[in-house]
Amino acid sequence: MLGWEFPPYFAGGVGTVCYELTRGLAKRGVEITYLMPHGPSDLARTHVRLLAADKEVELRGITELRVRSLLSPYASREGYARAHGALLRGEATPGGLYGADLLGEMRRFADAAQEIARREQFDIIHAHDWTTIPAALAIKAASGKPLILHVHITEFDKTGGEHADPEVYALEHEGFHRADALIAVSNYVKQRLVERYYVPPEKIRVIHNAVDGSPQRELGSARERIGPGERIVLFLGRVTLQKGPDYFLEAAAKVAPLMPDVRFIVAGTGDMLARMIERAAALGIANRVIFTGFVSREEAERLYAMADLFVMPSVSEPFGIVPLEAMRHGTPVIISKQSGVSEVVRHALKVDFWDVDGLASKIVAALSYSAMHHVLREHTFAEIGSFTWETPATQCQHLYDEVLAW
């Protein structure tokens, strides 16, 4: 299995998915070697055999640079260049850098992976997301083994629709067409693959993500408050175009005059943060919106528990695991219909992200109609408990069996 991160050496949500999925697969007797571009020399032993490419092979002229890469699941070339610039200016983030160009780095990972693959035993290549595509294709070419690409997001989702990077698109397109099978994390992603990448639908299997669904009742019941009688509507996620923070603010501005006791929290950071703070002021709701900036895992959990309502107004969300995390605390959620998670969650309010009036109306209703809030809360607990990683792991294994039988 190929990925760019693995807990505890990880940056984002896809790492968690890889971790939970491999755990489920390992329980079912699947042996996994997990290869990622970089890692420390003392990798923790876990349910998978974890390999870091930069520790396994001598790469031409760069082995002396034992540093973490900027390669990340959400990396865009633009973002990568920006991070690189920050590093050069001395505003160093943890770790370092050995390639100013993301595509170049992915190719170097491919060279290393190909070499490592020659001495490894495996039956199937399972690669996560676009950054591993060159490596996955190189291994497939070297070994002749079937390749499954696991698609968590596409370039179209990252760019909010119409400004896809042609080089990234070309790479994705090549990978999607040369892979033997694709796993899409939602029907939403599958539709993208069919409509934007012209992948034959029969080649795609939808396997929804899950969440560790044990309800956090204790946390949920001990609710923290900002002020007495005050209620909280929470946005938590990267403050970027894709996540729709602007729609959240527009809706908040419609709700605020109707409900003087409601406060809105925007938790997270991103390239739209400054613009959003200005927008809140322009809408006249600066005193009603709290911008927390970056939140840690622990702070996120506290916010979920505090919130009376969680809103995920994403413009494009291939899956969207965050509402499930909020639901673990019994917090009712409003989710964008343009998300994969809305395909699997029943007990939630759902809106089109562009329908600001609809979102505002549902926020007011969810906070005003207490009987409904209560019913939602109870069903939220019950529903979240039914999610488990067993399901996607089983589906993955079935796909492996199928692919091997071809």
Partner 1 sequence: MVSVCLYFEVHQPFRLRPYSVFDIGKSEEYFDDEKNASIMRKVARKCYLPMNALLLELLARHPQFKASFSITGTALEQMRLYAPDALASFQRLAATGRVELLAETSHHSLSFLYDRDEFAQQVRAHTQQLERLFGQTPSVLRNTELIYGNELGQWAQRAGFSAVLAEGWDPVLGWRSANFVYGAKGAPKVKLLLKNYRLSDDVAFRFSDRGWSEWPLTVDKYASWIDDANGNGHVVNLFMDYETFGEHQWEDTGIFAFMRALPARVLAHPHNAFATVSEAARNDAMDELDFPSYVSWADAERDLSAWIGNGMQQAALDELYRLAPAVREAGDPALLERWRKLTTSDHFYYMCTKWFSDGDVHRYFNPYESPYEAHIAFMNVLHDLALRLNVRLRRKGGTDEARTPRARAFVTQTPSAQLRVARRDDARSGGDRESSTQERSNFINTRSLSERGA
The Cα–Cα gap between 371 and 406 comes to 53
Rule CB under 8 A: say whether 283 interacts with partner 1: no
Report CA torsion sign: 247, 250, 252, 254: negative
Cα separations (Å) of 116 from 34, 37, 174, 298? 11, 11, 23, 37
Assign 380 to helix, strand or coil: helix
The Cα–Cα gap between 384 and 328 comes to 6
**Of 73-81, 268-276, 361-369, 395-403: span binding partner 1 (CB under 8 A):** 361-369
Rule CB under 8 A: say whether 349 interacts with partner 1: yes
Rule CB under 8 A: say whether 227 interacts with partner 1: no
Q: CB-wise, 247 or 400, nearer to partner 1?
A: 247
Rule CB under 8 A: say whether 350 interacts with partner 1: yes
Confirm if 388 and 210 have CB atoms less than 8 A apart.
Answer: yes
Rule CB under 8 A: say whether 382 interacts with partner 1: yes
Q: CB-wise, 286 or 375, nearer to partner 1?
A: 375
The Cα–Cα gap between 171 and 173 comes to 5
The distance of closest approach from Cβ of residue 351 to partner 1 in the complex, given in angstroms and rounded to an integer, is 10
DSSP code string of 321-373: -HHHHHHTTT--EEEESSBSGGGT--SSEEE-TT-HHHHHHHHHHHHH-HHHH
**Of 19-27, 87-95, 154-162, 369-377: span binding partner 1 (CB under 8 A):** 369-377
**Of 87-95, 117-125, 307-315, 363-371: span binding partner 1 (CB under 8 A):** 363-371
For partner 1, how many residues bind (rule: CB under 8 A)?
27
Q: CB-wise, 37 or 220, nearer to partner 1?
A: 220
Q: CB-wise, 222 or 371, nearer to partner 1?
A: 371
Question: What contacts 368, CB < 8 A, 6 or more positions away?
Answer: 259
Beta strands 309-312 and 231-236, pairing class = parallel
Rule CB under 8 A: say whether 376 interacts with partner 1: yes
Rule CB under 8 A: say whether 372 interacts with partner 1: yes
Candidate list 77, 374, 385, 398; residue touching partner 1; CB under 8 A: 374
Q: In what order do the strands lie in the sheet with 204-206?
A: 125-128, 147-151, 181-184, 204-206
Rule CB under 8 A: say whether 258 interacts with partner 1: yes
Q: CB-wise, 239 or 376, nearer to partner 1?
A: 376
Rule CB under 8 A: say whether 364 interacts with partner 1: yes
Rule CB under 8 A: say whether 260 interacts with partner 1: yes
Q: Is the bond preceding 260 in cis, omega lying within 30 degrees of 0?
A: no
Query: In the numeric block, which tokens belong to residue 286?
Result: 């600066």
Confirm if 15 and 6 have CB atoms less than 8 A apart.
Answer: yes
Q: CB-wise, 27 or 225, nearer to partner 1?
A: 225
The distance of closest approach from Cβ of residue 317 to partner 1 in the complex, given in angstroms and rounded to an integer, is 18
Candidate list 33, 361, 391, 397; residue touching partner 1; CB under 8 A: 361
Residue whose tokens read 């395909």:
343
Q: CB-wise, 11 or 259, nearer to partner 1?
A: 259
Q: CB-wise, 150 or 377, nearer to partner 1?
A: 377
Helix (H) or strand (E) holding 150, with range, is strand 147-151
Give residues in contact with partner 1 (CB under 8 A): 254, 258-261, 346-347, 349-350, 357-358, 360-362, 364-365, 368-372, 374-376, 379, 382-383
